[in-house]
Structure 1
């Protein structure tokens, strides 16, 4: 874990501000091993808009990849937690809006409506796969209203 990731996880704004411009700090660093997060993903996971703004203002990649184990993109984390203002901020920064699986898996109807209204794709090869996976996850976790919302968006 980089010092910037640690500052984000611990929500240390003053430390993050000192580190963000350091030449040895990669603001898009994902880290090693499972369960890792980029600095942006750490900030989003904590729901800390101040930290999110700090990394966004310094040119972070809003579409940074998720970890292979228990990973999630920044938008997926915002959707899972229901952080609507953070999700809107990410969309304003041209994040890939296709993050419905996490929202569906956690029964976040509010976020599903927001993502669908923001252009999340349920058509085409990639959109269809994501749509099917989102419906499956919603049903598997007993979030029938989320599954119905997704199915109604398709018809």
Structure 2
């Protein structure tokens, strides 16, 4: 990470402004493909997000990192509700899937971020959207043992009987262990 990315990561708006005014390249990325937006969104620094979107030119709101995740994904995955709201208000694409087919809904549910999950349900993300393994957000919440998220998704209308598409080795071990002797 360079100094510009670090200033976004830690929410140091004034330092970010000084670096930009001194000629720092604003379209930089970390080795993982994180941009200024990714860094600020993941850490929930809304003033930094506002500066990036309002004062910098040619910023791609839906740029993906090496995992195929946008700043919107990063905010959802890390429970940053204010950053998520800012990105929604800025017109980000809600439907983008990462390289594993996860939406922001999958990531928030799998990490147990109830407030973010509620907001994603409120903006009407598809509850039955499946990732590459056929998992819905409900599966992700159940797998992560996030009871509040499971209950929220069920109240919102998630299908309690949705099936995955891929059996993983851990699923098979659980099934074998549950079989009567």
The alignment's TM-score, normalised by the length of structure 2, stands at: 0.67
* Conserved? CA contact 1:97–1:119, under 8 Å: no
Change (3 A) 1:3 1:116: same
Q: Which runs of 4+ in 1 moved over 4 A?
A: 21-24
Structure 2 alignment gaps of length 5 or more = 96-103, 160-181
SS state at 2:131 partner: helix
**2:18 corresponding residue in structure 1:** 18
Deviates more, 1:1-10 or 1:135-144: 1-10
Aligned: 1:55 with 2:52: yes
* Deviation readout 1:25-46 (Å, 9 max, x if unpaired): 133x3332x4x52111111222
Larger radius of gyration between Structure 1 and Structure 2: 2
SS state at 1:26 partner: coil
Aligned: 1:45 with 2:49: no
* Conserved? CA contact 2:4–2:24, under 8 Å: no
Aligned: 1:87 with 2:89: no
What is the CA distance between 1:102 and its match in structure 2?
1.5
**1:113 corresponding residue in structure 2:** 118
- Count of aligned pairs between the two proteins: 147
What is the CA distance between 1:121 and its match in structure 2?
2.3
C-alpha separation between the residues in 2 aligned to 1:149 and 1:132? Answer: 17
What is the CA distance between 1:104 and its match in structure 2?
0.3
C-alpha separation between the residues in 2 aligned to 1:48 and 1:116? Answer: 23
Over the aligned positions, Cα root-mean-square deviation in angstroms equals 2.7
The alignment's TM-score, normalised by the length of structure 1, stands at: 0.76
